[in-house]
Amino acid sequence: MYLKLADWASIAEIVLAVIAVLALIGAVAQVAVARSVSRETLTYNYTERFATPEFLSFHQKTADLFALEGASADGRYAVFQGWKYEDQLAALLVPNLFEELAGMYNQGLLHKGITKDFFGLTALDVWNRGSWFIERSRKSNPRYYEQWELMLRDMDLPPAISVSTPT
């Protein structure tokens, strides 16, 4: 049995089609790997931001804010409003970075496992300690720290956060 030129052409077309499909699968796989590496890199960049020694003073300002005492959240918030503007900004840096991190997490731009392992329990602890401030802040805008809350819910960390979802 001999193959004619037309038969060889058909075989060549099939081989080319298979090669094209394999190349497409390879390209899709490379894009997926590149996206995964980008998510990991971006996540590790955030871990570095939160862990630098220069950032400790901001953590302390946030802790000072969340530890304010008073008869009500409004009273504590009024004390915060009396702080120097620079101190107010310093105290809000950590919660605002958690909100930024959470927005990226919720959009799938960060590696979920690394984010949960590195930030999960800390984000939950800061959330719980600052719950009075978050609730008070939501009086002026119910969506304040919404991304942070969604991230914590997605991470399903024990104990469950007790702040209601903004409407």
Flag whether 165 is in a domain: no
Range of the domain at 145: 11-155
With 0-12 CB in 10 A as exposed, 13-18 as middle and 19+ as buried, what is 42? Answer: middle
DSSP, res 159: S
Q: Does the predicted TM-score (pTM) go above 0.85?
A: no
Please say whether the beta carbons of 100 and 151 come within 8 A. no
Listed in sequence order, the DSSP H helices in the chain are 5-51, 56-66, 73-81, 85-106, 112-129, 131-137, 146-155
Q: How many distinct structural domains can be found in the chain?
A: 1
In whole angstroms, what is the distance from residue 109 CA to residue 89 CA?
26
State how far the Cα of 34 lies from the Cα of 46, in Å rounded to an integer: 18
163 inside domain? no
For tokens 């590496």, the residue is 37
Distance (Å, whole) CA 17 – CA 2: 24
> Tokens standing for 94?
């950590």
Q: What is the pLDDT of residues 22-75, one digit of tens each?
A: 888 888 888 877 777 788 888 888 888 888 889 889 999 999 999 998 878 899
In a domain, 2, yes or no: no
Residue 93, domain member (yes or no): yes
- The 8 Å CB, 24+ separation contacts for 3-12 are none
Q: Given pLDDT bands bounded at 50, 70 and 90, which one contains residue 92? A: very high
- 19 pLDDT above the threshold of 70: yes
Per-residue pLDDT of 120-134, as tens digits, reads 999 999 999 999 999
